[in-house]
Amino acid sequence: MSERSGSGSGGVAGSVSLSVSGARALAVRALVVLGYSPADAATIADHLLDCELRGLGMSGLARIVSIAERLGSAGPVVGPSAATVTSPSSTRIDGRDRIGYLVADEATTAAIAHAESSGIGLVGAHGTWYTGMLSHYAERIVERGLVAMLASSATPWVAPHGGTQPVVGTNPICFAFPSDGDPFVWDIGTSSIIHADVVLAERLGLPLPSGVAFDASGAPTTSPTEALAGAFTTWGGHRGSGLALVVQLLGALAGAPVAPGHLQDFGMVVLAIDPGVLGAGADAGAGAASLGGAAALRASVAELQASLADTAPVDPAHPVRAPFARSIAERRRRLAADAIEVPTAVVDAVRALADGVARA
């Protein structure tokens, strides 16, 4: 494994600089030790490395430690999910308590297949956990020229607006559109802070920002330990709270309980749409939209992205950018440098797992 330690060469104190291939190899090795097949370990590792490349380290290699804690001594469920094709355009998946990186990958594959054959692909999956970064799957969908919508419910860690007790999950939702340039992707969690952020802060002994969590008594806290025993706040006030409730119900639509247990029984919905299903030949004289179908949509998305870039910013030092533009730029930068910075404590913990030294 190629690694460069310390704060030199652009690194930061308390971190290790790993090559992309070295980080992936370490992740796969640790996941295989935890009981995953090499193929499944590679699928999970690709997701975690994508998080690292995009600067979302809390959902990257650190997640392997959380996976080990969730599995305990039992190891992962062996074998595929139970999938039932319910119509030419839909599939229902029972994840059988398999990790979400694998279940969501299967759901994405099924949604793409339905959309390419029927125009629309709708997949509901339940019985899973740690579905991860929804934009990872959305990118697969838009690469095929399809529009994507994904949502995932989770353990109630988040208080609704105006409350202090957990009722909903961190509940990400994601939309993605193909473009003549980079894809347009909007992927958010509906809580002020995501669960992985809080867990990593606890591991590293760091405080949380103010205003993002309550302790078990309902008092504001910056302690990650207290926040994990209490509740996180919602993003966007009552608007974000309402969106979080909708995602919780979409999880129920997929077959999950409305209040999943701790790291179990998550539900997710994956929707893939062929732009051509709405037909071609819209109103004449309407510009690119008059063409209809996939080509028109890609052109419209690129036009919107260009208009964002041309928008006069409030602060010239911070130009307006499309959602996901930062992630794409960060991923390209790290790939070009062949380096990702990972907290030393995380690398040590994952290496211990890979070496079979520690197992929750």
Looking at residue 51, its pLDDT comes to 98
Give me 126's structure tokens: 């339940």
CA distance 81 to 106: 8
Residue 338, Ramachandran bin (φ over 0: left; ψ between -120 and 50: alpha; else beta)? left
Q: What is the arithmetic mean of pLDDT over 286-294?
A: 55
Angle at 338 between CA 335 and CA 343, to 5 degrees: 105
Identify the sign of the CA torsion 47, 128, 260, 126.
Answer: positive
Q: Which whole-number Å values give the CA distances from 85 to 91, 94, 101, 124, 183, in the listed order?
A: 4, 12, 21, 11, 29
Q: Is the pLDDT of residue 289 over 70?
A: no
The length of the chain in residues reads 360
Residue 12 has pLDDT above 50, yes or no: no
Q: What is the mean pLDDT of the chain?
A: 92
What domains can you pick out in the chain, each with its CATH number?
3-75+339-354 (1.10.1530.10)
pLDDT-above-70 percentage for the chain? 92
CA angle 29, 81, 258 (to 5 degrees): 105
pLDDT at 292: 66
Q: Please check the confidence at residue 191 and state whether its pLDDT lies above 60.
A: yes
pLDDT of residue 360: 43
Reported as a single tens digit per residue, the pLDDT across 203-255 is 999 999 999 999 999 999 999 999 999 999 999 999 999 999 999 999 999 99
Contact call for residues 200 and 193 (beta carbons, < 8 A): no
What is the pTM for the complete model shown?
Answer: 0.92
